[in-house]
């Protein structure tokens, strides 16, 4: 298919490459042009503007936030002006490694015939696509709720690890127990590992993006009048992380706040040399 692809960050670059490899005719656009090079070498075409990327049958955006989406969508010569109708929402679950491996989970909603037309693309990007209705907004709410559930896992693991750690139990062994018994889901292994190591950089999904999604979930909850106390707790955790300077950390860094509250100083690194501390301690050290 003829595809326009806008946004070549860690997720987007991996996904666009998969589409090229699957034989699609992909025209890419990114604000900073240096990111396009690898794609062009792989066989993608270059668009000089958003409008140039909108001549195909499908356009995919993989942008950091709604402002960025609005910019490319609503601008003069933007997506909305440049493309035909038939919207499908298909948010993805997965981190950059899953994007590279074409193992994203995709939740799609929209007109059934439009969905069917997009299926080959979705197959090139992910291992599974689940349809959740005909309203595109439903897919976005499911995506937001999924990120809420993942953030809840991070918070719960953060508290549990702070607890067993202070009791003298090995953090890594503990995460191994959890992820190989009652919680055989990648999220527990991935986030449990990051929290046990206290390793929140580089960010695969940055804290401000996690904060944004929890905020959007809470906005939807307010419109629908659904009190979500755990989402409120997560909101306050992210806000605190950002207030303390955590903008460049992975969103799993909220899982380090429980240890910070417990006054725990942590060490990481098998060699005993490298030293990682919980977020707040780290900052104290840096001052």
According to CB under 8 A, which residues from 2 to 21 bind a copy of itself?
Answer: none
Q: Which residue is it, tokens 């946004």? A: 7
Rounded to the nearest angstrom, the gap between the alpha carbon of residue 220 and the centroid of all alpha carbons in its chain is 19
Rounded to the nearest angstrom, the gap between the alpha carbon of residue 88 and the centroid of all alpha carbons in its chain is 19
Residue among 76, 103, 143, 282 flagged as catalytic: 143
CB of 68 to a copy of itself, least distance (A): 20
CA distances (Å), 220 to each of 18, 19, 50, 145, 167, in order? 33, 33, 30, 10, 40
CA distances (Å), 98 to each of 10, 18, 141, 194, 274, in order? 11, 11, 21, 17, 29
Q: From the list 49, 119, 201, 232, which residue makes contact with a copy of itself (rule: CB under 8 A)?
A: 232
Which one of 15-23, 49-57, 74-82, 184-192 is the stretch in contact with a copy of itself (CB under 8 A)?
184-192
User: Counting contacts by CB under 8 A, is residue 128 touching a copy of itself?
Assistant: yes
Overall size of the chain counted in residues: 287
CB of 29 to a copy of itself, least distance (A): 29
Q: From the list 261, 269, 274, 275, which residue makes contact with a copy of itself (rule: CB under 8 A)?
A: 261
Q: What are the φ/ψ torsions at residue 226 (nearest 5 degrees)? A: -125, 100
User: Counting contacts by CB under 8 A, is residue 207 touching a copy of itself?
Assistant: no
Size of residue set near a copy of itself by CB under 8 A: 77
Q: From the list 174, 200, 205, 251, which residue makes contact with a copy of itself (rule: CB under 8 A)?
A: 174
According to CB under 8 A, which residues from 52 to 111 bind a copy of itself?
Answer: 93, 105, 107
User: Counting contacts by CB under 8 A, is residue 150 touching a copy of itself?
Assistant: yes
> Active site includes 128?
no
Q: From the list 42, 156, 209, 268, which residue makes contact with a copy of itself (rule: CB under 8 A)?
A: 156
CA atoms within 13 A on the CB side of 138: 11
CB of 11 to a copy of itself, least distance (A): 15
CB of 35 to a copy of itself, least distance (A): 27
* b/e per residue 74-84 (b: at least 16 CB within 10 A): eeeebbeebbe
Q: From the list 69, 114, 122, 177, which residue makes contact with a copy of itself (rule: CB under 8 A)?
A: 177
Cα 211–Cα 213–Cα 214 angle in degrees, nearest 5: 65
Active-site annotation, residues = 143
């Amino acid at each position: 298919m003829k595809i326009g692809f806008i946004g070549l960050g860690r997720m987007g670059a991996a996904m666009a490459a998969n589409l090229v490899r699957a034989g699609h005719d992909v025209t890419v656009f990114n604000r900073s042009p240096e990111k396009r090079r690898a794609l062009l070498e792989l066989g993608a075409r270059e668009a000089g503007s958003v409008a140039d990327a909108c001549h195909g049958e499908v356009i995919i955006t993989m942008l950091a936030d709604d402002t960025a989406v609005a910019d490319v969508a609503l601008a003069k010569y933007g997506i909305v002006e440049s493309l035909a109708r038939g919207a499908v929402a298909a948010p993805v679950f997965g981190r950059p490694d899953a994007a590279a491996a074409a193992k994203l989970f995709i939740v799609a909603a929209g007109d059934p015939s439009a969905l069917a037309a997009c299926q080959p693309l979705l197959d090139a990007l992910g291992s599974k696509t689940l349809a959740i209705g005909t309203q595109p907004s439903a897919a976005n709410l499911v995506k937001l709720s999924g990120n809420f559930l993942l953030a809840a896992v991070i918070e719960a693991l953060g508290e549990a690890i702070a607890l067993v750690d202070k009791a003298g139990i090995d953090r890594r062994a503990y995460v191994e127990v959890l992820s190989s018994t009652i919680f055989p889901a990648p999220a527990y292994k991935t986030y449990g590992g990051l929290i046990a190591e206290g390793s929140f950089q580089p960010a695969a999904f940055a804290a401000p993006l996690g904060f944004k999604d929890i905020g959007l979930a809470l906005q939807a909850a307010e419109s629908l009048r659904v009190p979500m106390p755990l989402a409120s707790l997560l909101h306050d955790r992210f806000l605190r992380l950002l207030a303390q300077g955590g903008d460049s950390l992975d969103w799993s860094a909220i899982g380090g706040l429980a240890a910070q509250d417990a006054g725990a100083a942590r060490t990481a690194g098998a060699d005993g040399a490298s030293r990682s501390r919980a977020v707040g301690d780290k900052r104290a050290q840096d001052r």
